[in-house]
Amino acid sequence: MASAAPTPSGTHPEARADARADVRLWHDIVRETLKANDVRLVTYVPDNVLKGLIASVHADPFFTAFACTREEEALGIVAGAWMGGMRGILLMQTSGFATLANVLASLPVAFQIPTLMMISERGTLGEFNIGQALVCRTMRPVLTSLAVEHHTLTRLDELEFTVDRSIKQAMATRAPVALILSPLLTGGKVFKA
């Protein structure tokens, strides 16, 4: 712990030596906000940063949560479920998002299906893998070119508001939304030499 890299203060309780038991972790806030908005289906291709969120939705019987083999598949499932009356979210890593442009354009955007997406952001703020750093650059341009609403989540104190309002807007306007989990919020994945 003593040699740990500096972490942003106030935003990442897990990384703070003085973390208090009553401080809610980012993934507790996300889980509770999903629940409050009746988002029951969670499909994912895992990522290390998402580990806590994935474990906590699996532990809560409110959610139907499972791993998929590809992000495209996971997005198709969420789209079908929404048309069937069940709200869902897809959890993935930056690299997984990079596989989605065709499906995003042809399914949720074209058919006006509010698929929720949460992306753990690799490739920035201390990335050690050049592949991640390069593919990360495609994420916001793809979202922007398809006019998909997206927000980068950096602060614990804004998290609930942003997630809650984004879900509500997606449902009301029948549009997909992408919530990007910045390392500023989560601590990211740290290079261990």
Partner 1 sequence: MQASETKPIGPGNAQVMNRFELTKRLVAKLPEDAAVIGGIGNTNFDLWMAGRRPQNFYMLGSMGLACPIALGVALAQPQRRVVALEGDGSLLMQLGTLATIAMLKPKNLTLIVMDNAAYQITGGQPTATAVGTDLVTIARGAGIAQSAWAADEEMFDELATQALTKDGPWLIAARIDDKPGTGTTDRDPVVITDRFMRGLGTKK
Question: What is the contact surface with partner 1 in residues (CB under 8 A)?
Answer: 41, 64, 66-70, 72-86, 88, 102-103, 105-107, 110-113
Name the helix (H) or strand (E) containing 12: none
- For residue 110 the two structure tokens come to 């074209």
* CA nearest to 177, candidates 142, 141, 144, 150: 150
Q: Measure Cα distances from 124 to 6, 13, 65 in Å.
A: 15, 20, 28
CB of residue 193 vs partner 1: minimum separation in angstroms? 35
CB of residue 104 vs partner 1: minimum separation in angstroms? 9
CB of residue 42 vs partner 1: minimum separation in angstroms? 11
* CA nearest to 96, candidates 42, 45, 41: 45
Measure the CA–CA gap between 77 and 184, rounded to whole angstroms.
30
Closer CB to partner 1, 48 or 112, in the complex: 112
CB of residue 107 vs partner 1: minimum separation in angstroms? 5
